[in-house]
A and B are shown apart, each in its own frame.
Chain A
């Protein structure tokens, strides 16, 4: 039985058609994935269902009855709740206060102990462990998301929409989230999961609706399809995420990290006596679960974090104490882990983001003054070559999708002509088309002889790009593997089992 039916939905934003004749249905008790690249219109469609956006044509039926979705209150009354991509919690309030914010039954004067008891009760029922009296700002994102879910559940909804819920989560947090969702559907809830991650569709969803450019391509049972077919439907053409690199001889060591120890923000040693080299023409992948020191390692190499001990050499010269400026000048290119925070000035137009770090260079400035003509000409070339869309170089970077933001960073860093490229989670949160593009560029740079250090928590990415894989666990490099090492072996190693125990376990089994 369909709990939600959307028929012939049209939605225009001035002249953009975000949803075009969209049909969508949700069955009771299913996890229904809404799959599509960024900008495909997924969030728009669900915001319409949740009453946040008006729609230009079409009908919505909930539990068999036509509903005029005027606002979220209407949606909630019909049992529809939504957890947005960007959480809508008030950090200064406690978990309980957030959950019962505006909830009518909470009454005018809040009786905190009663409400907290109700949160505890929900905790028990849904298998959460959220401290009702904790302040939201104290909580990691994974828990904040649970608060969002509890907030929806507290309003007695039966249909839960989640907009790219795993985008902000660590792999472990994602696993928890999905087991929560599975237990919800067992209780008869229905879930719509917006995502552009194939694996979430294949592993956790019952049906999938693929959207592209505002239209529905198809709705399928997940058991009747596979990753390849879905990827092609999403992008509209053949995609290549498989390994494209061919073995090639490597050159001199360009990045040499020696006995490096770095502290984290809590002043604990978080990178411990790490040593490795990256040679010209190779990609070295650092695999590991988030939080095992990769951030600190990356920042130490980029120059944003001071070292406790050890040394770093770039192109044969010691940069242990060099400023970031000096590292960039010596040939370091840097794709930071957090593109919006560390890689871009979102308020600046694309061209000023291409300029970033080159503003004093001869290429873009005549002495004290910027050469607008040169900046614009170069930006146009790069925007074309890196396929940044839209192509208007005066648009603020903040208005671009994640993939296009990443392309702007990539264009700038590659164009500076660096010999060493530090790529930190270069495709996190991107859609398939952009992932394919970014990876192809990295491979291209490798072919040109760049030394690339790839830090990623995505094992598929590590395996499809690296020439060698280093495993990082609790601040140590716990092993080196060839690129074609079996996935399960890497998986065990990043979880802290060293290879010898694995061998031993194998031995025991045999």
Chain B
């Protein structure tokens, strides 16, 4: 399939999720009504939370940003048939190193500091993916297990840092010192807190898309992902390709971690990632593991989390119930994308002889 067609598919595919969301909204409204909530008001709130003004819209994109990076990371790994469940840990590793550089590098000029944070965060993410990637590539040890273990390590490491060496005692809750002010990313639009992460994430999505579908490297990643034995006989080093895929995936997560720290929170705290790396799996699958599609699915998840909080805060719809509404929307969208898959498969079968 050629790249233009891919983009077209991704865009054409958008009406399907749109229809799915509509269906999901209707079902959710019925449910809300059945449980005695004001359905109209609740759903309006869901919508308002992201779209009522520029400020909340910015927050929505900020919410989507970590999912965008981790989502692309999971998508590219998946193409190479590496099931990267470690996006969370790699994201945190990126955040830790970015924050550490940001805190310790107070004496550096802003651009240099930011550059170091970017590099540090990206490399940290890649480093966090290295061992699982190496064990998978070299010894065929399941990355599902190793990456999860590395998630635990990263989470505990954050806990240790914000309670120990990096703890800002002036704060009641355990959190790290803030990074030096010149390391804060500037907001793109006045009166919003929209940092450049989402926009850059979109660019990254396009770059990764081109890498995957237009370069020999991406070709090798996909070939190995589909059929490592045939790839081997075609002279592709399966070990090297698998490892490179994993490193790239980890680097993207680390970059996401950098943006979260330098753009949004400005310090490290224990629940910096509310399981972004896990949600990223759903984000990627929803997008058909297409990096450009991830832009939309990550935004959808950003929208849902923000809306859920608002419904809960303003109307008092219980947190569980907002999760139900979220779940309904996701199931609808997922069902729609599976339908799409079946259609392509049938097309393929029809061509056969």
Is the beta-carbon distance between A345 and B235 smaller than 8 angstroms? no
Chain B residue numbers with a CB within 8 Å of A349 are 1
| CB pairs A–B below 8 angstroms (8 shown) | A13-B350, A304-B232, A349-B1, A357-B235, A359-B219, A359-B220, A370-B216, A399-B352
Report the stretch among A224-232, A321-329, A484-492 that lies at the interface: A321-329
Chain A residue numbers with a CB within 8 Å of B30 are none
Nearest 7 CB-CB pairs, A to B? A325-B235, A399-B352, A357-B234, A359-B216, A39-B353, A395-B351, A356-B234
Known: A324-B235, A356-B231. 4 other contacts (CB 8 A): A341-B230, A342-B229, A347-B226, A359-B216
Is the beta-carbon distance between A342 and B230 smaller than 8 angstroms? yes
**CB 8 Å contact bits of A363-379 with B (1 = contact, 0 = none):** 00100111010000000
B142 contacts the other chain (Cβ, under 8 Å)? no
**CB 8 Å contact bits of B233-261 with A (1 = contact, 0 = none):** 11111000000000000000000000000
CB distance from A111 to the nearest CB of B (A): 38
**CB 8 Å contact bits of A397-408 with B (1 = contact, 0 = none):** 011110010000
A238 contacts the other chain (Cβ, under 8 Å)? no
Is the beta-carbon distance between A400 and B348 smaller than 8 angstroms? no
Q: Which residue of B lies closest to A395 (CB)?
A: B351
B187 contacts the other chain (Cβ, under 8 Å)? no
Is the beta-carbon distance between B350 and A328 smaller than 8 angstroms? no
Q: A370-B215, A395-B348 are in contact. Are A343 and B1 (CB under 8 A)?
A: no
| Cβ-neighbour of B353 out of A304, A369, A389 (below 8 A) | A389
Q: A328-B235, A352-B219, A368-B217 are in contact. Are A401 and B353 (CB under 8 A)?
A: yes
Is the beta-carbon distance between A365 and B229 smaller than 8 angstroms? no
**CB 8 Å contact bits of A202-235 with B (1 = contact, 0 = none):** 0000000000000000000000000000000000
Is the beta-carbon distance between B353 and A324 smaller than 8 angstroms? no
Q: A324-B233, A395-B348, A399-B348 are in contact. Are A345 and B353 (CB under 8 A)?
A: no
Q: How far is the CA of A400 from the CA of B350 in the complex (A)?
A: 10
Q: Which residue of A lies closest to B211 (CB)?
A: A368
A346 contacts the other chain (Cβ, under 8 Å)? yes
B227 contacts the other chain (Cβ, under 8 Å)? yes
Is the beta-carbon distance between B215 and A304 smaller than 8 angstroms? no
Chain B residue numbers with a CB within 8 Å of A352 are 219, 223
State which residues 176-214 of A face B: CB under 8 Å: none
A79 contacts the other chain (Cβ, under 8 Å)? no
Q: A14-B350, A390-B351 are in contact. Are A345 and B216 (CB under 8 A)?
A: no
Is the beta-carbon distance between A368 and B230 smaller than 8 angstroms? no
Q: Which residue of B lies closest to A324 (CB)?
A: B235
CB distance from A344 to the nearest CB of B (A): 6
Q: Which residue of A lies closest to B218 (CB)?
A: A370
**CB 8 Å contact bits of B265-288 with A (1 = contact, 0 = none):** 000000000000000000000000
Q: How far is the CA of A334 from the CA of B233 in the complex (A)?
A: 9
Is the beta-carbon distance between B227 and A344 smaller than 8 angstroms? yes
| Cβ-neighbour of A399 out of B2, B223, B226, B351 (below 8 A) | B351
A302 contacts the other chain (Cβ, under 8 Å)? yes
CB distance from B78 to the nearest CB of A (A): 13
Is the beta-carbon distance between A400 and B352 smaller than 8 angstroms? yes
Q: How far is the CA of A302 from the CA of B235 in the complex (A)?
A: 10
State which residues 331-350 of A face B: CB under 8 Å: 334, 336, 341-349
Q: A324-B232, A328-B235 are in contact. Are A404 and B215 (CB under 8 A)?
A: no
Chain B residue numbers with a CB within 8 Å of A38 are 353
Residues of B within 8 A of A (CB): 1-3, 214-217, 219-220, 222-223, 226-227, 229-237, 348-353
Is the beta-carbon distance between A345 and B223 smaller than 8 angstroms? yes
Interface contact tally, CB-CB below 8 A = 98
Is the beta-carbon distance between A346 and B226 smaller than 8 angstroms? yes
Is the beta-carbon distance between A341 and B217 smaller than 8 angstroms? no
Q: Which residue of A lies closest to B5 (CB)?
A: A394
A360 contacts the other chain (Cβ, under 8 Å)? yes
Chain B residue numbers with a CB within 8 Å of A356 are 223, 230-231, 234
Chain A residue numbers with a CB within 8 Å of B237 are 323, 325
Q: A38-B353, A349-B1, A401-B353 are in contact. Are A370 and B214 (CB under 8 A)?
A: yes
Chain A residue numbers with a CB within 8 Å of B220 are 359
Q: How far is the CA of A368 from the CA of B231 in the complex (A)?
A: 18
Is the beta-carbon distance between A341 and B353 smaller than 8 angstroms? no
A421 contacts the other chain (Cβ, under 8 Å)? no
Chain B residue numbers with a CB within 8 Å of A400 are 352-353
Most buried by A among B1, B215, B216, B229: B216
| Cβ-neighbour of B348 out of A324, A327, A334, A398 (below 8 A) | A398
Q: A14-B350, A345-B230, A346-B227 are in contact. Are A368 and B215 (CB under 8 A)?
A: yes
Is the beta-carbon distance between B351 and A304 smaller than 8 angstroms? no
Q: A396-B348, A401-B352 are in contact. Are A341 and B235 (CB under 8 A)?
A: no
A355 contacts the other chain (Cβ, under 8 Å)? yes
Chain B residue numbers with a CB within 8 Å of A325 are 235-237
Chain B residue numbers with a CB within 8 Å of A368 are 215-217
Chain B residue numbers with a CB within 8 Å of A396 are 348, 351
Is the beta-carbon distance between B232 and A390 smaller than 8 angstroms? no
Q: How far is the CA of A348 from the CA of B3 in the complex (A)?
A: 14
Chain A residue numbers with a CB within 8 Å of B235 are 323-329, 357
Q: A355-B219, A359-B220 are in contact. Are A342 and B233 (CB under 8 A)?
A: yes
State which residues 375-397 of A face B: CB under 8 Å: 389-390, 392, 394-396
| Cβ-neighbour of B2 out of A329, A360, A372 (below 8 A) | A372
Chain A residue numbers with a CB within 8 Å of B219 are 352, 355, 359, 370
| Cβ-neighbour of B229 out of A323, A341, A392, A398 (below 8 A) | A341
Chain B residue numbers with a CB within 8 Å of A341 are 227, 229-230
CB distance from A18 to the nearest CB of B (A): 10
Q: How far is the CA of A291 from the CA of B353 in the complex (A)?
A: 31
Most buried by B among A327, A341, A369: A369
Q: How far is the CA of A404 from the CA of B351 in the complex (A)?
A: 13
CB distance from A340 to the nearest CB of B (A): 8
Q: How far is the CA of A368 from the CA of B226 in the complex (A)?
A: 21
Q: How far is the CA of A465 from the CA of B348 in the complex (A)?
A: 36
Q: How far is the CA of A19 from the CA of B226 in the complex (A)?
A: 34
Chain A residue numbers with a CB within 8 Å of B234 are 324, 328, 356-357
Most buried by A among B215, B234, B236, B353: B234
Most buried by A among B2, B226, B227, B232: B227
Chain B residue numbers with a CB within 8 Å of A327 are 235
Is the beta-carbon distance between B348 and A348 smaller than 8 angstroms? no
Is the beta-carbon distance between B226 and A392 smaller than 8 angstroms? no
CB distance from B225 to the nearest CB of A (A): 9
Is the beta-carbon distance between B229 and A348 smaller than 8 angstroms? no
Q: How far is the CA of A348 from the CA of B236 in the complex (A)?
A: 16
CB distance from B252 to the nearest CB of A (A): 19
Q: How far is the CA of A352 from the CA of B234 in the complex (A)?
A: 12
